[in-house]
Chains A and B, each alone.
Chain A
Amino acid sequence: MNYLLHVVVLVGLYTCLAASLDLLVGQTGILSLAHAAFYGFGAYTSAILSVRLGVPFVYGVVAGMAVAALLSFVVSLPSLRVHDDYFVLATFAFQMISFNILNNWTALTRGPLGIAGIPVPVIFGWSIRSRFGFVALTALFAVFACVVVARITAGPFGRVLRAIREDEVFAQALGKNTLRFKVVAFAVSAALAASAGSLYAHYITYIDPKSFTVMESILVISMVIIGGAGSRWGPPIGAAVLVTLPEALRFIGLPDPVAANLRQIFYGTLLIIMMMFRPRGLAGRYAFKE
């Protein structure tokens, strides 16, 4: 039962990550390889604040989101002006150096040793210690992320994003400052990823840079794609599929490293297959047509 609840928590966490990435990929049509970096910034901000300074959980989450949003401007402002390919590259580079910083700035992050002893979250005097508690908390975070994305998507803001997705020149000719929209969407997506990071940090109580590499970014991208980009059910479905199916591999009794490789091969292959045969994914609305 504990194990099952753990899987549910993971699904909730990744729903948060996938929904926030879908705002970029599915709604705006821009790809970011830096999602794991913002996930990591949220985790590390929360961890450092709570372990070193005793900052309560909620403030740590907000701080993490603010840090991520601010750092997102470093990538988005120079690169979103130029060319979509360049933006992907810039996010890739940003992801690589974020890992570099987390791994090398040992004074702040303790580098590869990671940060341990992250306290359990305390919200309004309630400590969340049990699995059930975390399931509830994760559900809250996941729902929050989905609602934020849905609110943005359903209204005028989302209309402009979809216009940008299909034809940015058209959106500009209608008087929209497309750069502003893309930068804001990117910042929101980064902030939500960071909130998932904070949750992760307080759940596992230990974090190290290895959880926040570009491979993690690609995993979240796969969830968005496989679940289906541009729809509100795509991200949760993608998260559920890519978390639970590989977990089933454990029960076949493969040695751990081999299982880890096979999991990644699984979603890598699925990604390729989806692109070939069903670009709009399982439940998506956006098929990345030219």
Chain B
Amino acid sequence: MEILRCENLRKTFNGSQALTGLSLELPTSGITAIIGPNGAGKTTLLNILTGFIQPDDGRCFFGCREITRLPPHRIVRLGVGRTFQDLRLTLQVSVLENVLVACPNQRGERLLPALLRVGVAADDVRNQAEAIRLLRFVGLEQKGEELAGELSYGQQKLLTLVCCLATGAQILLLDEPVAGIHPEMAARLLDLLRELRDTGKLVVFVEHDIASVRQVADSVIVMDQGNVIAQGPPSEILDRPEIIEAYLA
């Protein structure tokens, strides 16, 4: 697994500083949680790592390759996938179609094969099977033909995870994956994250709920005011007084 890291990231939005010289090296395995109060810059960090925002200063690397200026789709192709805080899906099409879009390297996405229908059917068969396998992994295989807009909020969150997995990503950057869903579904999702870790994927998730973090994270990164203030195993980090204060302040 290559190392995803960044050096000295700075970003200002309309006069307020979101990131203030942040340097970070993500672990190469396990489940890592990024925590911090609102406005700490967690989502901005995610956006910069995944290419949706350009930093004002600083650089990002994946292995020895610089990825700072790469567009999002290239970063996904390197194996770094993400989900969003605001659910992003194509609500007007079926669950299955959402997952199928995510499958990489489809010949039918090039014009000539699409028009001549060369190799498209074979790809589709393969991708459909993979999509159903992933939907089964999260327990949504019965919902394949339903419109994504008709799922419950928790199911939609599971679907975004499935889409992220369908891209073939080895590193999953999840922005608040359990926010807003009820505890049973949240527990199930955390179980899924453990399973994903056990299959060798790196899971990084931004989270507010300390209880979930304690349950599942192998390491914790704490952010505040645009920078990292602590990084380490949860048992060490989460009981430190200055961390608790940063959260309550």
Whether A and B touch directly in their complex, counting CB atoms under 8 A apart, is answered as yes
Q: What residues of chain A have their CB less than 8 Å away from a CB belonging to chain B? A: 148, 151-152, 155-157, 159-160, 162-163, 166-167, 169-178, 181, 184, 188, 286, 289
- In whole angstroms, how far apart are the Cα atoms of A159 and B99 in the complex? 10
On whether A156 and B120 interact (CB within 8 A), knowing A151-B114, A175-B73, A188-B111, the answer reads yes
Q: Which chain A residue lies CB-closest to B169?
A: A175
Does B2 sit within 8 A of A, measured CB to CB? no
A169 touches B111 (CB 8 A): no
Contacts of B73 in A (CB 8 A): 172, 175-178
Q: Write the residues of chain B forming the contact surface with A, with a CB cutoff of 8 angstroms.
A: 50, 52, 71-73, 76-77, 81-84, 88-93, 97-98, 100-102, 104, 106-111, 114-115, 117, 120, 123-124, 163-164, 166-167
A286 to B120: give the CA distance in the assembly, Å: 25
Provide the residues of chain A in CB contact with B101, threshold 8 Å: 156, 159-160, 163, 171, 174, 176
Among A156, A160, A177, A188, the residue within 8 A (CB) of B123 is: A156
- On whether the beta carbons of A173 and B84 are closer than 8 Å, the reply is yes
Chain A contact residues, majority secondary structure: helix
Q: Of all chain B residues, which has the CB nearest A157?
A: B114
A42 to B77, CA, bound (A): 38
* Closest chain B CB from A112 CB (angstroms): 37
B82: contacting residue among A152, A162, A173, A178, CB under 8 A:
A173
| Cα–Cα distance between A289 and B100 once the two chains are bound (Å) | 23
* A166 engages B76 (CB within 8 Å): no
* A160 CA / B127 CA spacing, docked (Å): 15
Contact call A151/B90, Cβ cutoff below 8 A: no
Closest to B80 in A: A175
- A156 CB contact (under 8 Å) in B76, B82, B84, B114: B114
Pick the residue among A148, A159, A167, A170 that contacts B97 (CB under 8 A): A159
Contacts of A175 in B (CB 8 A): 73, 76-77, 81, 102, 104, 167
On whether the beta carbons of A156 and B109 are closer than 8 Å, the reply is yes
The minimal Cβ–Cβ distance linking A155 to chain B, given in whole angstroms, is 4
Q: Smallest Cβ distance from A82 to chain B, in angstroms?
A: 14
Known A156-B108, A159-B97, A286-B92; 19 more pairs at CB < 8 Å:
A155-B108, A155-B124, A156-B101, A157-B108, A157-B111, A163-B101, A167-B88, A170-B90, A172-B52, A172-B71, A173-B76, A174-B102, A175-B73, A175-B76, A175-B102, A175-B167, A177-B71, A184-B111, A188-B111
Q: State A162–B76 Cα separation when bound (angstroms).
A: 20
Residues of B within 8 A of A173 (CB): 50, 52, 72, 76, 81-84, 88, 164
Q: Which residues of B contact A160 (CB under 8 A)?
A: 101, 109
Q: Is A156 within 8 A of B100, CB to CB?
A: yes
Q: Determine the chain A residues whose CB is within 8 A of the CB of B50 once the complex forms.
A: 173
**Set of chain B residues within 8 Å of A159, measured between Cβ atoms:** 93, 97, 100-101
Question: In the complex, what's the smallest C-beta–C-beta distance from A48 to chain B, in angstroms?
Answer: 27
Q: Are B115 and A174 in contact (CB under 8 A)?
A: no
Contacts of B81 in A (CB 8 A): 173, 175
| Residues of chain A contacted by B166 (CB below 8 angstroms) | 174
Quote the shortest CB–CB distance from B129 to chain A (angstroms): 15
Given the known A-B contacts A156-B123, A163-B90, are A174 and B76 also in contact in the complex, defined by CB atoms under 8 Å?
Answer: yes
B82 touches A166 (CB 8 A): no
**Can you pick out 23 interface pairs between chain A and chain B where the beta carbons lie within 8 Å of each other?**
A151-B115, A155-B114, A156-B107, A157-B109, A157-B110, A160-B101, A163-B93, A163-B101, A166-B90, A170-B88, A170-B89, A171-B101, A172-B76, A173-B72, A173-B76, A173-B81, A174-B76, A174-B166, A174-B167, A176-B109, A181-B109, A188-B111, A286-B92
- Complex alpha-carbon distance, A286 and B90, angstroms: 13
Closest chain-B Cβ to A13's Cβ sits at a distance in Å of 22
Q: How far is the CB of B41 from chain A (nearest CB, A)?
A: 19
> Contacts of A156 on B, CB cut-off 8 Å?
100-101, 106-109, 114, 120, 123-124
Kindly identify which residue among B72, B84, B90, B114 contacts A152, using a CB–CB cutoff of 8 Å.
Answer: B114
Chain B residues within 8 Å of A155, by CB: 108, 114, 117, 120, 124
Query: With A152-B114, A157-B114, A162-B90 known to touch, is A174 a contact of B123 (CB < 8 Å)?
Result: no
